[in-house]
Amino acid sequence: MTDFNRHPSCYRHWQLQIDGDVAHLRMNVDPAFPFKPGYELKLNSYDLGVDMELADSIQRLRFEHPEVKALVVGSGQERAFCAGANIWMLAESTHPFKVNFCKFTNETRLSLEDYSHNSGVKSLCAVNAACAGGGYELALACDEIHLVDDSNSAVSLPEVPLLAVLPGTGGLTRLVDKRKVRRDRADVFCTMAEGMRGKKAVAWGLVDAAWKKSQFADKVNARAKELAAQAPAKAQKGIVLEPIHAKVDGNAYKYEYVQCVVDADARKATLTIHAPQGPQPQDGAAYEQAGCRSWALQCWRELDDALLQLRFDHEEVGLIVLQTRGDRAAILQVEKDLFAHRSHWLVNEVLLHMARVLRRFDLMARSTYALVDGDACMAGAFLELTLACDRVYMLDDDKVQAVVGPLSAGLLPMSHGLTRLQNRFLAQPEHAAKLATAQPTLAAAEADEQGLCTYLLDPVDWEDDVRIALEERVSLSPDALTGMEASLRFGGAENCDSKIFGRLSAWQNWIFTRPNATGDEGALTRYGAPESAKFDWRRT
């Protein structure tokens, strides 16, 4: 079991400092402590362990330090800002790990952007030295990039010329979609292994400012204070995020509200999630008092951990079977209270966290089937999870109900900005709007009529039909399914976020298996060796 819990007191690779309303997050990677033995993390290069700490620090800033109004991301090393993802780690990793690592790091960078867009905390990246590959991708996730103007400091995306792969966590997409760098200039930049420095980097839109070394610290600090002055006030004291731990019982992960049972032989995992039990906070002050133990935060942190366990520790599980349990009225009351007090800083962060976990579920490279039986709790955010699945199997029974909650109208958006109702009913936007507004309670047959299930099954046929459906799914090619699901899940127009993940799923999956990158004579395999890579020159 992979432990995704981290804490600033035990960080090995990052230094978090709170200076009034400005937070400083400095990357200072200890080369002797890689996530797995076998390589050194030189020049502030990173691996999964480094990015776990980054993800934890952003999460803690959101919940534990609401007094922070601006964030400066920098380096604790003079000779390197960040050399990007560790090449030796990538060369030695399995293909699924490579892609899942890229996905995790991008989700972390998206959380940094979400921190700016929805929590109001702007970020400034202070690039004090060479900044390459994934290091520049981290900079691109910040609102502003400030660069030292000297002979050593440059930004670069050297993956294409050096490794025959791509900036795997969204570098190309952020370059043209977010920073709106001209296509021809982006083409030149991405084929320059040495990158670009100083005033030219500013002129091309690759960074926002370049300062002489003697001015750099003062200019960065002054700009951070300006950004902090523009941010809204929230609170002076946050809550403490306690670790999330599952009790491992054989093939089962058991949390308080979430249970994940892995059937390795059948290549499936059953994910059962429970609605709140007992009294829950009713306003912002009560949420502050409850800390991290409220259902709306605890359950969704547990679900997030379970999804990461499946992603990294169970590569052969191809199908996630979703079951929801509990009191529909209880979950709907929690959501009504969250909606009513969404302007409170902590309630806002809880809602944003729920949305991020749902998006992680959307992006699982596994088939997802929801089983809505007589004990199901298809209500509110659990309805969102159900609609996120590739198929919904519903029992035709009087006990089954589907309830649209107040959060389904836009507070839990997908990566491309649509609600799951809008995504489901692209041809009928008025129907999606009606369901979101009316928030109806629908019996099984009505839910089927309204398009909320894939199959409405007779009780006599339920067990056999479900069994056959599950067995059939896991018998299909995992590669074909991954491509099919990634193409079908996000309908309608794309945005920067969905482009990043779509391209990551398709292009990284493809390029990481090509001999030009990972073959015996590929560029990634031969990196650092005296022999040059040998390419198959055919374009496909």
- How far apart are the C-alpha atoms of 354 and 272, rounded to whole Å? 17
- How far apart are the C-alpha atoms of 329 and 327, rounded to whole Å? 5
Q: What are phi and psi of 273, to 5 degrees?
A: -125, 135
Report whether 23 contacts 71 (CB < 8 A): yes
Beta strand pairing call for 70-75 and 22-27: parallel
**Neighbour count for residue 77 (Cβ, 10 Å):** 16
Of the candidates 57, 161, 162, 103, the one whose C-alpha atom is nearest the C-alpha of residue 527 is 162
pLDDT tens digits, one per residue of 178-195: 999 999 999 999 999 999
Residue 517, in any domain of the structure: no
Domain stop point among 440, 466, 484: 484
pLDDT at 169: 75
226 and 265 housed in the same domain: no
- Bridge partner list, 70: 22, 122
**% of the chain beyond a pLDDT of 90:** 89
Where would I find the H helices in 375-424? Answer: 381-388, 420-424
200 and 312 housed in the same domain: no
**Neighbour count for residue 426 (Cβ, 10 Å):** 11
298 and 411 housed in the same domain: yes
Q: Is 442 helix (H, G, I), strand (E, B) or coil?
A: strand
Q: 192 CB contacts (<8 Å, ≥6 apart)?
A: 156, 158, 161
Residue 276 has pLDDT above 90, yes or no: yes
Residue 129, in any domain of the structure: yes
Q: 163 CB contacts (<8 Å, ≥6 apart)?
A: 87, 517, 523, 524, 527
Where would I find the H helices in 26-94? Answer: 48-64, 87-92
Q: 509 CB contacts (<8 Å, ≥6 apart)?
A: 99, 479, 482, 483
Domain stop point among 187, 203, 230: 230
Report whether 358 contacts 381 (CB < 8 A): yes
**DSSP state letters, 66-78:** TT--EEEEEES-S
268 and 149 housed in the same domain: no
Residue 352, in any domain of the structure: yes
pLDDT tens digits, one per residue of 104-136: 999 999 999 999 999 999 999 999 999 999 999
From residue 298, give the alpha-carbon distance in Å to each of 34, 65, 245. Answer: 29, 18, 11
**% of the chain beyond a pLDDT of 70:** 100
Report whether 408 contacts 360 (CB < 8 A): no
Rounded to an integer, the average pLDDT of 388-415 is 97
pLDDT at 296: 98
H or E stretch at 468: helix 462-474
- How far apart are the C-alpha atoms of 318 and 480, rounded to whole Å? 12
Residue 416, in any domain of the structure: yes
Token pair 């190309």 in the structure block, residue: 172
Rounded to an integer, the average pLDDT of 430-459 is 98
H or E stretch at 403: strand 401-403
Rounded to an integer, the average pLDDT of 247-252 is 95
55 and 192 housed in the same domain: yes
Residue 409, in any domain of the structure: yes
From residue 10, give the alpha-carbon distance in Å to each of 13, 16, 56, 314, 454. Answer: 9, 11, 11, 27, 47
From residue 279, give the alpha-carbon distance in Å to each of 275, 333, 337. Answer: 12, 10, 12
Of the candidates 494, 454, 499, 470, the one whose C-alpha atom is nearest the C-alpha of residue 366 is 470
**DSSP state letters, 308-329:** HHHHHH-TT--EEEEEEES-HH
Residue 530, in any domain of the structure: no
348 and 453 housed in the same domain: yes
285 and 421 housed in the same domain: yes
- How far apart are the C-alpha atoms of 117 and 96, rounded to whole Å? 31
400 and 375 housed in the same domain: yes
253 and 225 housed in the same domain: no
The residue range of the domain holding 285 is 247-484
Residue 2, in any domain of the structure: no
pLDDT tens digits, one per residue of 49-79: 999 999 999 999 999 999 999 999 999 999 9
416 and 444 housed in the same domain: yes
pLDDT at 511: 86
Q: What are phi and psi of 22, to 5 degrees?
A: -120, 130
Radius of gyration of the chain (CA): 24
Q: What is the CATH number of the domain that holds 359?
A: 3.90.226.10
309 and 199 housed in the same domain: no
**DSSP state letters, 491-523:** -S---HHHHHHHHIIIIIHHHTTSHHHHSTTST
pLDDT at 502: 84
pLDDT band at 282 (very low <50, low <70, confident <90, very high): very high
- How far apart are the C-alpha atoms of 231 and 93, rounded to whole Å? 42
- How far apart are the C-alpha atoms of 329 and 215, rounded to whole Å? 59
Report whether 66 contacts 116 (CB < 8 A): no
**DSSP state letters, 237-277:** ---------PEEETTEEE-SSEEEEEETTTTEEEEEEE---
Report whether 146 contacts 223 (CB < 8 A): yes
pLDDT tens digits, one per residue of 307-352: 999 999 999 999 999 999 999 999 999 999 999 999 999 999 999 9
pLDDT at 477: 95
Which pTM value belongs to this model? 0.96
Of the candidates 3, 13, 164, 12, the one whose C-alpha atom is nearest the C-alpha of residue 90 is 164
pLDDT band at 286 (very low <50, low <70, confident <90, very high): very high
Domain stop point among 167, 195, 230: 230
Residue 168 has pLDDT above 90, yes or no: no
267 and 219 housed in the same domain: no
What is the number of structural domains in the chain?
2
From residue 203, give the alpha-carbon distance in Å to each of 130, 181, 219, 295. Answer: 18, 10, 19, 49
Of the candidates 362, 387, 251, 361, the one whose C-alpha atom is nearest the C-alpha of residue 307 is 361
H or E stretch at 183: helix 183-189
Residue 25, in any domain of the structure: yes
